Structure 1
Amino acid sequence: MSPERFARINQMLDNRQADLTLCLDTVHKSQNISAIVRTADAVGIHQVHAVWPDIEMRVSGNTASGSQQWVKTIVHHNMNDAAQAFNSQNMQVLATNFSESAVDFRKVDYTKPTVIIMGNERDGVSPEGLAIADQHIIIPMLGMVQSLNVSVASALIMYEAQMQREKAGMYGKRTLDYAYCQKMLFEQGHPVYAKACRRKNIPYPTIDQQGQIAADESWWQRMREPDPNAEEA
């Protein structure tokens, strides 16, 4: 891995916000999912959640988001499962919804551990998603149209969260665990070796402070051995 690549990946890891995320509530159009995940990466969101109740939706959604190698998509079969994940991290749960209790999305404190539930364009956030929300939020609109594309709405909210967190000095401080950072450094800095490890079922090695593989001779010997799966093919 080049020094420039190593520095770039480390900068990304230093800026990841482990306690800020989105939950896509039956959002299934691939172009919307891809756009949301790209924006999540841009603002430093570590992972997004998606509630996809049926098999077809899970397959379609995973295909769309699988190309996004920097942001992991965690799939839940129902909102209750997602809620347990959010509660375990003591996150405030926000849901986009036009209700009497809804507040301007810019009035919320996003420096707290936060998950933002975004619904699909036809139905919005599901009743189950609305029920677990601590606060409903809206994006004020002055025109005739009363809703935005879900990827556009998500981007507006995510960048508001980024702005607040930047002002609070929350970027540039690594909060991700060591094992995950090592995995990302290896997979994204040494992709050929990472692919070989997965094929041969070899554990990932450690990446040293210069971005190079730190492995003993036995690891390299296993790496040099013929690929049994290739021989079978």
Structure 2
Amino acid sequence: MPLLPRRFERLKSVLNHRMADLTVLLEHVEKPHNLSAILRSCDAVGALEAHAVSFDGRTRTFNSTAQGSQKWVPLHDHPDTETAIRHLKAKGFRLYGTHLGVDAKDYRECDFTGPTAFVLGAEKWGLTDQARDLMDEALFIPMRGMVQSLNVSVATATLLFEALRQRQVAGLAPTQGEGLKPEQYQQLLFEWSYPEVARWCREQERPYPALSEEGELMEELPRTVKLRC
């Protein structure tokens, strides 16, 4: 089925608000409900992608809570915590680890307007000692009740929306695609618009065809490929 103009405009609208400099790293967060809720929150605020370190041999699953958000927010796997943290720091992220410690700051006192990665741990144990030692800053969400912490997916949503709020106040929240590099924006727009054609292009090791302003393919493709649209 051809891509409808209103669908193309919707895809562009979402990409216009995506932020490549806001992400989360999940250490041993395994429950499908929590993973699904976290990716849904990432999608809601405009985070481009998420990262995870999982236990060996665990198959990752999502449930209906995700509402399909795993299609729009890729979850990148890393073999271990140190590798994941090194990867994010090499990309310029400042890492904020959630744990109760003597040096931890109230999350509302932190500045999330720069490249920010929130690092959250497993549902029962929180972050490992290794992860805590590698954080740039420790933070916590104040509790007024009997429990000391929020569910990991709720904590993630709280932090992500605070980062978005700060960026909106500072006039740094993207609205016209400035949260992505131009080539990254165009690549994602094509892959979101024509995922099957994009897959074929990658298999053929050829560049993606250009798109018109209305989202139409500007190149004649083999009939078998066009049928995938």
TM norm structure 1 = 0.84
CA distance in 2, matches of 1:102, 1:200: 48
Q: Partner amino acid for 2:91?
A: Q
Cα gap change, 1:102 to 1:199, in 2 (>3 Å): closer
- Give the match for residue 231 of structure 1: none
CA distance in 1, matches of 2:14, 2:82: 31
- Give the match for residue 122 of structure 2: 120
Q: 1:172 aligns with which of 171, 175, 179?
A: 175
Establish whether residue 185 from structure 1 lines up as the match of residue 192 from structure 2.
no
- Give the match for residue 60 of structure 2: 60
Cα gap change, 1:43 to 1:2, in 2 (>3 Å): same
CA distance in 2, matches of 1:77, 1:191: 27
- Give the match for residue 28 of structure 1: 30
Q: Partner amino acid for 1:128?
A: Q
CA distance in 1, matches of 2:188, 2:20: 15
Describe the SS at the equivalent of 2:87. Answer: helix
Percent identity among equivalent residues? Answer: 35
Deviation at 1:207, TM superposition (A): 2.0
CA distance in 1, matches of 2:194, 2:53: 32
Q: Partner amino acid for 1:102?
A: A
Specify every segment of 5 or more residues in structure 2 that has no aligned partner in the other structure, as ranges: none
Structure with the largest fraction of helix: 1
Deviation at 1:181, TM superposition (A): 2.9
Specify every segment of 5 or more residues in structure 1 that has no aligned partner in the other structure, as ranges: 228-233
Larger Rg: 1
What are the within-5 Å matches in structure 2 for residues 41-190 of structure 1? Answer: 41-56=43-58, 59-61=59-61, 68-170=70-172, 171-173=174-176, 174-190=178-194
Describe the SS at the equivalent of 1:22. Answer: strand
CA distance in 2, matches of 1:138, 1:67: 26
TM norm structure 2 = 0.86
**Could you tell me whether the CA contact under 8 Å between 1:185 and 1:211 is conserved in 2?**
no
Describe the SS at the equivalent of 1:101. Answer: coil
Q: Partner amino acid for 1:181?
A: Y
CA distance in 2, matches of 1:224, 1:149: 45
Deviation at 1:140, TM superposition (A): 0.4
Q: Partner amino acid for 2:130?
A: E
CA distance in 2, matches of 1:190, 1:90: 31
Equivalent pairs counted in the alignment come to: 220
Q: Partner amino acid for 1:87?
A: K
Deviation at 1:10, TM superposition (A): 1.1
CA distance in 1, matches of 2:112, 2:26: 18
CA distance in 2, matches of 1:162, 1:175: 12
CA distance in 2, matches of 1:159, 1:166: 10
